Amino acid sequence: MVDWSQNPAEPMTVNGVALEYACYGPPPSEAPTIILLHEGLGCVGLWRDFPEILSVQTGLGVLAYSRQGYGQSDPVDLPRPLDFMTREAIDVLPHVLDQAGIRRCILFGHSDGATIAAIYAGSVEDHRVRGLILEAPHFFTEEMGLAEIARARETFATTDLKEKMAKYHRDPEGAFRGWCDTWLDPGFEDWNVADVIDYIRVPILVVQGRGDQYGTLAQIEEIETRAYCPVDTAILDCKHAPHLEAPKETLDAVGEYCARLLRIEAAEVVPA
């Protein structure tokens, strides 16, 4: 079991891999838990103070962890497989939930993390998962997003971005290459996991910036068109990271969504 603390003494170990994590607010025995799944260059530290504020705003526990190759988690072998997000959802995430003693949870993913959350909810029958918060999700590639990643590759090669990333990532080169080289692999152009949306059966909140440089509103329209479950959307005046660029609006939308889920959970069912 994990040490429910903001500064655990030891990482959690999943499939023999040490994963950095941090916990906030009430433990799973006392309240539902929000599981934070970071973006393609994210980690525990790069959520900044958002997890703690999120816990206070919602009254729920929050667990954030760094995937292999990110933050202070163990490095990853490169190149990553092109289905790395599906593998993370199927092979890693359920073990994280088990180790944390999760009883009821909301998966809150940003960017690649949002895709991982959606894949899990649409592929694994897990009644612990009561809702999804998808922030800037990707279900298929778009030319504008790939162009932005190509620009990021140039920035990494010509600026001090690697040194800046080293403040948060044990292996900044591996973290960047594992993200960039996979997305820009020619074989990744046809990547599409939108079919998982068809199988999601829990309420979804989607948060997206109008100016998102990595994905258009076509990603959100895909959810609204295909979903058989309730979908709420919050389209905000920001770019790719609403929780950092529009924190109040993001927290307001997330807080309302979580409160509604809690009301549904607590409602008494009266027999007809």
**DSSP per-residue string spanning 89-105:** IIIIHHHHHHHTT-SSE
- Say how many domains are in the chain: 1
Supply the pTM of this predicted model: 0.96
DSSP state of 260: H
Give the pLDDT score at 266.
83
Residue 129 lies in a domain: yes
Give the pLDDT score at 109.
98
Measured between alpha carbons, how far is 143 from 184 in angstroms, rounded to an integer?
A: 11
Measured between alpha carbons, how far is 265 from 272 in angstroms, rounded to an integer?
A: 19
Give the pLDDT score at 272.
52
Residue 147 lies in a domain: yes
Residue 20 lies in a domain: yes
Regions of the chain where pLDDT drops below 70:
268-272
The domain in which residue 216 lies consists of 12-266
Residue 159 lies in a domain: yes
Give the pLDDT score at 267.
81
**Backbone phi and psi for residue 23, each to the nearest 5 degrees, phi listed first:** -125, 150
Q: Are strands 61-65 and 105-110 parallel, antiparallel or unpaired?
A: unpaired
Are 85 and 65 in contact, with CB atoms under 8 Å apart?
no
Q: What is the pLDDT of residues 230-251, one digit of tens each?
A: 999 999 999 999 999 999 999 9
Show the 3-state SS of 173-213: HHHHHHHHHHHCCHHHCCCECHHHHHHCCCCEEEEEECCCC
Residue 3 lies in a domain: no
Q: Which of 220, 218, 214 is nearest to 233 (CA)?
A: 220
- Residue 261 is part of a domain; what is its CATH number? 3.40.50.1820
Residue 144 lies in a domain: yes
Residue 17 lies in a domain: yes
Q: What angle do CA 192, 206, 236 make, to 5 degrees?
A: 115
Residue with tokens 């995937």: 67
Give the pLDDT score at 271.
54
